[in-house]
Amino acid sequence: MSLFEFKNPKLLEEALTHSTYAIEHPSAFPGGNERLEFLGDAVLELITSLILMEYFPEDDEGTLTKYRAQLVNRKHLSMIAREIGLGDRLLLGWGEERTGGREKETILADALEALIGAMFLDRGLDETMKNLRSLLFRPLENLKKGKTELDAKSVLQEKVQTLYGKSPQYSLVRESGPAHNKVFITRVKIMGKVLGEGSGRSKKESQQRAAERALENILSNKPIRRR
């Protein structure tokens, strides 16, 4: 069963209804998707914990807690939401629609949790766990390979290779500050077009931030620009 295929379509509709839409449409679900978000947050934490215990049978509670925090933080959840096109399906109020609510990190992350809560009610634990395994496969594999951060550069490499058949190119465009407290600015390009730009206290960190911004632009279908 696909992510958006429900035995009870009303659960999917509720999961996609933002509170601002519910306020403007009295016939909609009171409070929008907030109740399902509440449930989905707990289901996500439970399932992620179960999967991590399987992936890392030798690791202690502290390490597993750190891994779980990385997997379920808002930035990562919003990236998953963009990948599955969740923003395009949301029912938003006029104000949120006008101000780009479909791309807001908080709205996307909350909606994904609501979708997980709805899936749990519609399909049960086993089927929801199967869906989440698929969504979390790549970051879980990164953790398994010893990458203690969600590696945006690796994700971007895969995405750009798929879309353009090329590899992204990183260039240091500026550094500032004293030697003990430098700030680096990195730009990432594909075929001469800028995908994203990021800053950090090291060249590696600035590349990660640039990759994160590039992914946000690609997943939100923002045009890349020449520079």
Whether 34 contacts 28, CB under 8 Å:
no
Amino acid at 215: L
- To the query of whether residue 197 is one of the catalytic residues in this protein, the response is no
Short-list 168, 124, 101, CA closest to 8: 124
CA atoms of 121 and 118, how far apart (whole Å): 5
Catalytic residue among 37, 113, 212, 216: 113
CA distance 38 to 114: 7
Name the active-site residue from 14, 37, 41, 216: 41
Alpha helices in the chain (DSSP H): 9-15, 19-24, 34-55, 61-71, 74-83, 94-98, 105-123, 125-144, 152-164, 203-219
Q: Is 41 a catalytic residue?
A: yes
The length of the chain in residues reads 227
Active site residues: 41, 113
